[in-house]
Chain A
Amino acid sequence: MAYLLVIGTRKGLFTARSENRRTWELTGPHRLDEADDAGMSPVYTVGINPRSGRLLAGTESWHFGPSVWHSDDLGATWSEPAEAPIRFPEDTEASLTRAWQFAFGEEADTVYAGVEPHALFRSTDGGDSFTLVRALWDHPHRAEWFPGAGGGAIHTILPGTIGAGERSPEAITVAMSTGGVYQSADSGASWAPANRGISAGFLPGEEPEYGQCVHKVAMAPDGSFYAQNHHGVYRSSSPATEGWSRIKSGLPTDFGFAVVAHPHRPESALNFPVVSQDVHLPPDNRLGVYRTDDSGATWRAIDAGLPRDPYFGIVLRDAACTDGADVPGFYFGTRNGDVYAATDDGERWHQVAAHLPDVLCVRAAEV
């Protein structure tokens, strides 16, 4: 068994491969296109299809726009569909800025893409071509979703559940900034907001039904959720029926971007605190990761192996993940270009890569 870590950065795509998750062979930046333009572009999202093994990378060339690249040989070679894989229909009068997220459905070739501007696309051919999920695009709330600081996009896609005990191939949960959490129980034919309990301090009045700036939602193995909000950390077993509960006790701050659920223990998750919306730095200028093992009732620092020196790079919303292995590995990258892994169920970190460009996203899997 080997492990593959795919790393999207501000300047290109890297991969790291390991037989033991202790020593890693880093490759990159990968040359995606012949002219090496996309290869030197920001890679905002990557995906590893757990059923087919196909890798996906969403790039945005400064000059020549966005695209989706795929590799069927674990990153050795890359291809781009002849026609734009994600394209807004003409009647929408919208244009793709970039893909923010890939997620994979029950069928081997079903791929979802969350994009900017706020939209969800679905592919049934493994990511060669995508179709707009109309019901979400046509949702009457869309006119009131507005871009957060990073842009307005669907950045979280969680196929298969809308809550604990509510697993279904037709279920899907998405999150967006701004807009919040929306869920569908009918394969995307209809959508409802599911934000009760999540604050929106940037909006006047009482807590709104929608419009929150949810930064990331992670799905626990029982189908419940952890959420990192624009100020606020939450958990919910069923967002639509029970709403969300705050779970920040023991965290140094309630701001951040990334949250990762343990792949086997619903009560465990990792959080990567950031000082505040105004100060995008680690608390106390120390690189730190926090873990809960009691569904968010308490959090503790797990920083063994991390730098003790002052550190100023934060972890972005998709720059943390798990490989989902039986003894799970956890991974994160920072805006300083460092990548760390913890392969003893998250207790001690070791460095996979250093001095890369800003890490925007990571995904890992057994291959």
Chain B
Amino acid sequence: MWVTVHLPGLLRSDADGAAHVPLEVRDAAVLRGVLDALTDRHPGLDRRIRDDRGELRRYVNVFVDKDECRAMGGLDAPVHEGADVRLLPSVAGG
């Protein structure tokens, strides 16, 4: 199954400058599998996106198409062939 991950500008330096990363997901068709495939290709992204326990960082939002993943099961959110997965910094800072 192929999906495309879209990265915000702040994360592109950890992905060789890529804004969009096409990925083949071989494992379960859920978001965790997409992020595993993404961080296998670009290991430096993992600690930005997930904490030491593997949980999504609080202020990182991940949309599968137009739905934020936390409303769809979090890392177990289903992902379909051709999905657009968008990582976006949430509303935070100061």
Which residues on A are within 8 Å of B, measured CB to CB?
A: 10, 33-35, 37, 61-65, 67, 82-84, 87-88, 90, 93-96
Contact = CB atoms under 8 A, between A and B. Distances in A.
Given A63-B60, A64-B10, A82-B43, 8 more contacts: A35-B9, A62-B59, A63-B10, A63-B93, A64-B47, A65-B47, A83-B43, A94-B53
Contacts of B74: none
29 contacts: A35-B9, A35-B10, A35-B13, A37-B10, A62-B92, A62-B93, A63-B57, A63-B59, A63-B89, A63-B90, A63-B92, A64-B11, A64-B48, A64-B49, A64-B89, A65-B48, A65-B51, A67-B47, A82-B43, A83-B43, A84-B47, A87-B52, A90-B52, A90-B53, A93-B53, A95-B53, A95-B55, A96-B51, A96-B52
A95 B51 contact: yes
Contacts of B89: 63-64
B94 A62 contact: yes
A119 B35 CA distance: 28
B11 to A, nearest CB: 7
B44 interface: yes
A302 to B, nearest CB: 34
A96 B51 CA distance: 7
Nearest to A92: B52
A237 B52 CA distance: 39
B52 A64 contact: no
Contact of A65 (B13, B57, B93): B57
Interface of B: 9-13, 43-44, 47-49, 51-53, 55, 57, 59-60, 89-90, 92-94
Contacts of B60: 63-64
B9 A64 contact: no
A88 B52 contact: yes
Contacts of A94: 52-53
Nearest to B51: A95
Nearest to B9: A35
Contacts of B47: 64-65, 67, 83-84, 87
A94 B53 CA distance: 6
A37 B8 CA distance: 12
A219 to B, nearest CB: 31
Nearest to B17: A34
**Most chain A CB atoms below 10 A, which of B52, B59, B92:** B52
B88 to A, nearest CB: 9
B10 A95 contact: no
A362 B87 CA distance: 35
Nearest to B46: A84
Nearest to A87: B52
Contacts of A61: 48
A18 B70 CA distance: 51
Nearest to B55: A95
B52 A95 contact: yes
Nearest to A67: B47
Given A62-B93, A82-B44, A34 B13 contact: yes
Contacts of A83: 43, 47
B53 to A, nearest CB: 5
